[in-house]
Amino acid sequence: MTTIDALLELPDVRRLRSALAARPGLRIDPSDGLRRLAAIALVLRPGTAPGDAADPELLMIKRAEAEGDPWSGHVACPGGRMEPRDHDLEQTAIRETWEETGVDLARDGRVLGALDDISPRTPTLPPIIVRPYVAVVKPELEIVQSSEVAEAFWVPLAALRERAAWGTAMVPIRGAGERQVAAFRHGAYTVWGLTERVLRQFLEYLDGPG
């Protein structure tokens, strides 16, 4: 069994902890009262390939198709909107991760900190502020997908660092046909929109700008 202390000493995790301590995420002021709050979790585990424990993997999901959901079918990180029972957005990220994937960050992991808040850039999406949290978990976990999740999979950080994986892609926009957008590709999966922006920011914390 891998202990949390051992996870915290992985080179990439140590860099993330230092970066998050040096520059805590910037916050968007929701004082206008018009924007709802949400949180997602970038969940890392040690690499599972033999000898690759030092190359962590990031948990990602593909959302199930749902009528009326603007992010239906998108590849994303676990997360969702804040509920009245959540005492803060970190609790939202923990709760949503548990509900969507069965991963208990409070029991089997640790939250390291949060990246910058982000909001949609297009008026066709709901007015919302999303706070991305970074967490680590033990590798001995079973993913239990909820009905909101079509697929759950792990992406090695080495794949995120591949420059060739970043570029543009044509994606379907609800009610607007197809549009070329900035994207990250991993196998059959295309990541774009808010999640693509979060992953870029995550890499800046991990390796520095560029």
Provide mean pLDDT across the span 103-109. 95
pLDDT digits (tens, 9 = 90+) for 11-42: 999 999 999 999 999 999 887 666 789 999 99
What is the model's pTM? Answer: 0.92
Query: May I ask the CATH architecture of the domain 4-160?
Result: Alpha-Beta Complex (3.90)
Whether the per-residue pLDDT at 202 is higher than 60: the answer is: yes
Look at 21-35, 97-111, 141-155 and tell me which has the smallest mean pLDDT. Answer: 21-35
pLDDT of residue 6: 83
Looking at residue 207, the DSSP 8-state letter turns out to be H
Q: How far apart are CA 74 and CA 193, in angstroms?
A: 9
Whether the per-residue pLDDT at 2 is higher than 90: the answer is: no
pLDDT of residue 17: 96
DSSP 76-143: E-SEEE--TT-SSHHHHHHHHHHHHH---HHHHEEEEEE---B--SSTTS--EEEEEEEEEE-S----
pLDDT of residue 31: 74
pLDDT of residue 21: 95
- The torsion angle over the Cα atoms of residues 185, 188, 192 and 195, rounded to 10 degrees, is -90
| Average pLDDT for the chain | 89
Any idea where the domains of the chain sit in the sequence?
4-160
Tokens linked to 28 = 């968007």
Select from 5, 20, 3 the least CA-distant residue to 201.
20
The answer to whether the Cα torsion of 120, 126, 127, 132 is positive or negative is negative
At a CB cut-off of 8 Å and minimum separation 6, what does 209 contact? none
List, in sequence order, every residue forming a beta bridge with 88; answer none if it has no partner.
none
Confidence of residue 171 (pLDDT cuts 50, 70, 90): confident
pLDDT of residue 51: 63
